[in-house]
Amino acid sequence: MATVKFDESTRIYPGSDTPAVDKLNIDIEDGEFLVLVGPSGCGKSTSLRMLAGLEEVNQGKIWIGDRDVTDLSPKDRDVAMVFQNYALYPHMSVADNMGFALKIAGVDKGEIRKRVEEAANILDLTQYLERKPKALSGGQRQRVAMGRAIVRSPQVFLMDEPLSNLDAKLRVQTRTQIASLQRRLGVTTVYVTHDQVEAMTMGDRIALLKDGILQQCATPREMYDKPANLFVAGFIGSPAMNLVTVPVTADGAKFGNHTVSVPREGANDGGSHVVVGVRPEDVELTTNNDGLELTVDVIEELGADAYVYGTPTDQNFTLEGGDDNLAKPFIARVDGRKVPAKGEKIYVYPKGQHMHVFNKESGARL
Amino acid sequence: MALELTAARPDPALLDLPWRTPLEDWPEDILAALPRGISRHVVRFVRLSGRVLAIKEIKDDIARREYEMLRDLRRLHLPTVEPFAVVSGRVGVDGEPLDACLVTRHLQFSLPYRALYSQSLRKGTATRLIDALAVLLVRLHLTGFWWGDVSLSNTLFRRDAGSFAAYLVDAETGELRNRLSDGQREHDLDIARVNIAGELMDLEAGGLLQEERDPIEVSERIMTRYRELWAELTAEEHIVETERWRVDDRIRRLNKMGFDVDELEITTDFDGTTIRIQPKVVDSGHHSRRLLRLTGLDVRENQARRLLNDLEVFSAATGRQGEDEEIVAHDWLARVYEPVTRGVPASLLAKLEPAEVFHEVLEHRWYMAERARHDVPITDALADYVAKVLPGKPDERAVLGVDTEELPVIADRNA
């Protein structure tokens, strides 16, 4: 087990001017589960592969424990890529399916048996060790595949979108299994995904990348409660945070005709406009002409709650993060017993101080 | 959602397949054979408009990515299966969306490794398969393809004048780069080795491994063969100025191995006494391209080598070495090759491909001549081969699988 350190690590592909990964700095604790997340092309897989030794590091260094591994070959790093291949061999017992790679590596029989039994114990597969994979359920087969990586007892597990080709149901099952297993094993793990829900539910900490640059590295709670910039605010959370550009007056920011106090420091052009972010669950909904006026487009009933999708009546208010030219709706979560009607006019503003304020130009949190 | 079909040359008959049914429940009467082999996904073979198609059920984005990747690889003249279509937007009869399907054409006369092992094998088949896979991997790496899941299961083999030629079947994990780093190549090699050992151990556990060979020892061969080949194809060589013939020698060595040199980087050192040469781009298929140019026959590399040798013998025996080789080749085709391949009765055509039959007849003639201690005319050899050898061979035109399990990883139904 070991710590991992990305130290100004940079990858520039030949023929490209902009780095795929730009001066990445992350310190991963011993036994930590770190998730690298971001949209496609953000550099998350490249970062993982730099750690694995599969991508060259052009500048900076990578450390595993107190070893500088920057120039070591993949084999000499003592890391294991999990789920590269989880085909199970039908004629081999579960024990052999888990241990055969050790046999290739020349580990002696007694040691293989010991490690397979330990892994089986952790994976609740002990009673199935002598069976053939055909006798196992889908989830158990998935655990056998995990066992294959566990028996190698590497210093670091690396997982690159391991769930991407599983069907939705198995994805959720396996997600939980991997997370709880990692905690039981206590092996430092770096996990890549494009799915923020996966990142939020699995990671001790999340590192969110965009265009090769680290946007924020924090616990899921902190990412959610204190996003460092507009991009993080829009990426983390589902449905996404409402991000509205509003004018600022001497009294505060004008959320329609509702005034909320906002910090001025760091706002651009003397603070005439800021972006206010409100999560759907932090929206105060009124009908008495207090707040930003919305026309209700769609109601999504969830039972106890409902999501209200609305469009600002005043077209000067636009929401950040809409795709292409499609206007993004404003989303509010409301009590399932007090749901407005479709087409109705409602008024919204941030509940209490549950809001996030960002510089309109730089996107930085104020 | 409407069913969406992406294909270069769509076949309307494709729409008649039961896309509203999950692939694993497709009715047996439309399947070409019961599908087998190790797969993470559900795979089925169907007959459609006179051809056999392989259908793999995977997620939409992955299906499209693999379809495009296979098309790119074929454009680069790499040996892969032919992508045929992506079918997406599937909805089950219960209204639930179903995964997309990637459709590829089955490669005629190709053999999965499990089928090869289930036959009584000629000695050394295991190593010949590994050698073919090593050639494939080197070719893919030279082009910048990083496979990610190298295995015998993800490869199909075609007979090639007694040895084998390997074809990539599964490009799901692959990526195309400008060039691969040593770390990336080693990673593929490491995966290949572990997978091959696992696949052979599995055959051993199932009592299907005919040869008494240690799977680990056989799997090691992928490393050595790959490295030898890679070094021969890419290593730089220093030559003393007075031995310039060795430049030519290097090219000839590469040709003999079946590779063409596109570009040879030659630099002379400061005082001009030594030359450094490094083949820049190499492409395999040297003999098969030459044969194609001379005769129009499109066959594999070793088959082409064999046929070219026979052409040379023909040319010497008829005293025509000085003549224009295309004319001689035309005569050889009409007088030697075609009479042999046409001499196979229609009922035996599904046994082996014509070029492989020709190769076997030449082998057979050699054995007959050795026994008889005199030359045997090819017509006699053909008659004897067709009567005694060919009927005993299995049909290999569409071998889709053998008796193994299919183990896709799917969610527990009752979980």
* pLDDT recorded at residue A51: 97
Per-residue pLDDT at B285 exceeds 60? yes
Q: Pick the closest to residue A2 from A47, A54, A53, A62 (CA basis).
A: A62
* CA-based nearest residue in chain B for residue A141: B409
Instruction: Name the A residues in 174-233 with CB < 8 Å from any B CB.
Output: none
Q: Pick the closest to residue B141 from B110, B83, B186 (CA basis).
A: B186
* pLDDT recorded at residue B196: 93
Verify that B179 and B80 share a domain, yes or no: no
Domain with B276, as residue range(s), is: 237-284
Are the Cβ atoms of B412 and A139 closer than 8 angstroms?
yes
Please tell me the distance in Å from A254's CA to the nearest CA on chain B. 43
Q: Rg of chain A over CA atoms, in angstroms? A: 25
For B318-339, what is each residue's pLDDT tens digit?
Answer: 888 888 888 899 899 999 999 9
* Token duo for residue A178: 């991997």
SS3 of residue B4 by DSSP: strand
Verify that B217 and B152 share a domain, yes or no: yes
Q: Note whether A6 and A176 are within 8 A (CB).
A: no
From the CB of residue A102, how many other CB atoms can be counted at a distance below 10 Å? 20
* pLDDT recorded at residue A168: 77
Q: What is the spatial distance between Cα B52 and Cα B238, in angstroms, rounded to a whole number?
A: 51
Residue B71 domain-assigned? yes
* pLDDT recorded at residue B165: 92
Query: Residue type for B22, please?
Result: P
pLDDT (average), residues B266-291: 77
Verify that B250 and B230 share a domain, yes or no: no
- DSSP letters, B367-409, are HHHHHHTS---HHHHHHHHHHHTGGGSPP-TT----S------
Q: Which residues of B touch A90 (CB under 8 A)?
A: 38, 202, 206, 404-405, 407
As a whole number, the mean pLDDT across chain B is: 86
Q: Which residues of A touch B24 (CB under 8 A)?
A: none
SS3 of residue B56 by DSSP: strand
For B112-143, what is each residue's pLDDT tens digit?
Answer: 888 787 665 566 778 888 999 999 999 999 99
Residue B206 domain-assigned? yes
Verify that B215 and B245 share a domain, yes or no: no
Verify that B222 and B329 share a domain, yes or no: no
SS3 of residue A354 by DSSP: coil
For B349-359, what is each residue's pLDDT tens digit?
Answer: 888 999 999 99
* Best to test chain A binding among B146, B407, B413, B414 (most A CBs inside 10 Å): B407
For B9-36, what is each residue's pLDDT tens digit?
Answer: 888 889 899 999 999 889 888 888 654 5
Residue B414 domain-assigned? no
SS3 of residue B55 by DSSP: strand
* pLDDT recorded at residue A269: 58
Q: What is the CATH number of the domain that holds B187?
A: 1.10.510.10
Which ipTM did the prediction report?
0.81
Residue B172 domain-assigned? yes
Q: Which residues of B touch A145 (CB under 8 A)?
A: 409
Q: Note whether A334 and A351 are within 8 A (CB).
A: no
* Token duo for residue A194: 């494009």
> Cα A37–A43–A46 angle (5° rounding)?
105
SS3 of residue B77 by DSSP: coil
> Cα B124–B119–B153 angle (5° rounding)?
75
Verify that B229 and B245 share a domain, yes or no: no
- Overall domain count for chain B: 4
Q: Which residues of A touch B149 (CB under 8 A)?
A: 84-85
* pLDDT recorded at residue B402: 41
Q: What is the spatial distance between Cα B178 and Cα B143, in angstroms, rounded to a whole number?
A: 8
In a 10 Å sphere around its CB, with 0-12 CB exposed, 13-18 middle and 19+ buried, how is residue A78 labelled? middle
Per-residue pLDDT at B403 exceeds 50? no
Give all strands (DSSP E) within chain A, no chain letters.
4-11, 21-28, 33-37, 59-64, 67-68, 79-81, 156-160, 188-193, 205-210, 213-218, 242-247, 253-255, 258-260, 273-278, 283-286, 292-301, 305-312, 330-335, 345-350, 356-359
The tens-digit pLDDT sequence of chain A (366 residues) is: 699 999 999 999 988 889 999 999 999 999 999 999 999 999 999 999 999 999 999 999 999 999 999 999 888 999 988 865 567 898 999 999 999 999 999 999 999 999 999 999 989 999 999 999 888 887 788 888 889 888 988 999 999 988 887 777 778 888 888 898 899 889 999 999 999 999 999 999 999 999 999 999 999 999 999 999 999 999 999 899 999 988 888 888 888 888 888 876 666 555 688 899 999 999 998 878 888 999 999 999 998 999 999 999 887 777 876 555 556 889 999 998 889 999 999 999 998 778 999 988 888 998
Per-residue pLDDT at B302 exceeds 60? yes
Q: What is the spatial distance between Cα B60 and Cα B69, in angstroms, rounded to a whole number?
A: 14
What percent of chain B has pLDDT above 70? Answer: 91
Q: What is the spatial distance between Cα B251 and Cα B93, in angstroms, rounded to a whole number?
A: 61
Q: What is the spatial distance between Cα B412 and Cα B414, in angstroms, rounded to a whole number?
A: 5
Please tell me the distance in Å from A203's CA to the nearest CA on chain B. 23
* pLDDT recorded at residue B413: 47
| φ, ψ (nearest 5 deg) of residue A104 | -65, -35
pLDDT (average), residues B389-415: 63
Does A103 touch chain B if contact means CB atoms closer than 8 Å? yes
Residue B39 domain-assigned? yes
Per-residue pLDDT at B73 exceeds 70? yes
Q: Which residues of B touch A89 (CB under 8 A)?
A: 38, 198-199, 201-202, 205
Verify that B125 and B229 share a domain, yes or no: yes
Are the Cβ atoms of B405 and A137 closer than 8 angstroms?
no
Residue B30 domain-assigned? yes
Are the Cβ atoms of B40 and A169 closer than 8 angstroms?
no
Are the Cβ atoms of A85 and B411 closer than 8 angstroms?
no
Please tell me the distance in Å from B241's CA to the nearest CA on chain A. 34
Chosen domain end from B200, B216, B234: B234
Q: Which residues of A touch B99 (CB under 8 A)?
A: 167
Q: Note whether B337 and B307 are within 8 A (CB).
A: yes
Verify that B220 and B115 share a domain, yes or no: yes
Q: Which of B58, B201, B404 sits opposite A165 (nearest CB)?
A: B58
Are the Cβ atoms of A74 and B183 closer than 8 angstroms?
yes
In a 10 Å sphere around its CB, with 0-12 CB exposed, 13-18 middle and 19+ buried, how is residue B176 labelled? middle
Q: Which residues of A touch B92 (CB under 8 A)?
A: none
Please tell me the distance in Å from B194's CA to the nearest CA on chain A. 6
Are the Cβ atoms of A138 and B99 closer than 8 angstroms?
no
Residue B164 domain-assigned? yes
Q: Which residues of A touch B40 (CB under 8 A)?
A: 86-87, 165
Per-residue confidence at B180, pLDDT binned at 50, 70, 90? very high
Residues forming a β-bridge with A244: A276, A319
| Domains within chain A, CATH numbers bracketed | 4-230 (3.40.50.300), 239-359 (2.40.50.140)
Tell me how long chain B is. 415
CB pairs under 8 A between A and B: 119
Q: Which residues of A touch B199 (CB under 8 A)?
A: 89
Per-residue pLDDT at B66 exceeds 80? yes
Please tell me the distance in Å from A145's CA to the nearest CA on chain B. 10
pLDDT (average), residues B58-72: 93
| φ, ψ (nearest 5 deg) of residue B142 | -60, -35
Find the range with the poorest average confidence among A108-122, A325-339, B212-226, B376-390: A325-339
* pLDDT recorded at residue B114: 81
Verify that B147 and B200 share a domain, yes or no: yes
pLDDT (average), residues B179-205: 91
Q: Note whether B87 and B1 are within 8 A (CB).
A: no
Verify that B129 and B197 share a domain, yes or no: yes
Q: What is the CATH number of the domain that holds B29?
A: 3.30.200.120
* pLDDT recorded at residue A338: 86
* pLDDT recorded at residue B296: 86
SS3 of residue A28 by DSSP: strand
End-to-end CA distance of chain A: 39
Verify that B205 and B156 share a domain, yes or no: yes
In a 10 Å sphere around its CB, with 0-12 CB exposed, 13-18 middle and 19+ buried, how is residue B115 labelled? buried
- Of the CA atoms within 13 Å of residue B116, those in its CB half-sphere come to 26
Please tell me the distance in Å from B188's CA to the nearest CA on chain A. 10
* pLDDT recorded at residue A158: 94
* Token duo for residue A22: 């730009």
Per-residue confidence at B404, pLDDT binned at 50, 70, 90? very low
* CA-based nearest residue in chain A for residue B404: A90
Residue B262 domain-assigned? yes
Please tell me the distance in Å from B238's CA to the nearest CA on chain A. 27
* CA-based nearest residue in chain A for residue B406: A90
Q: Which residues of A touch B41 (CB under 8 A)?
A: 165
Verify that B141 and B227 share a domain, yes or no: yes
pLDDT (average), residues B66-72: 96
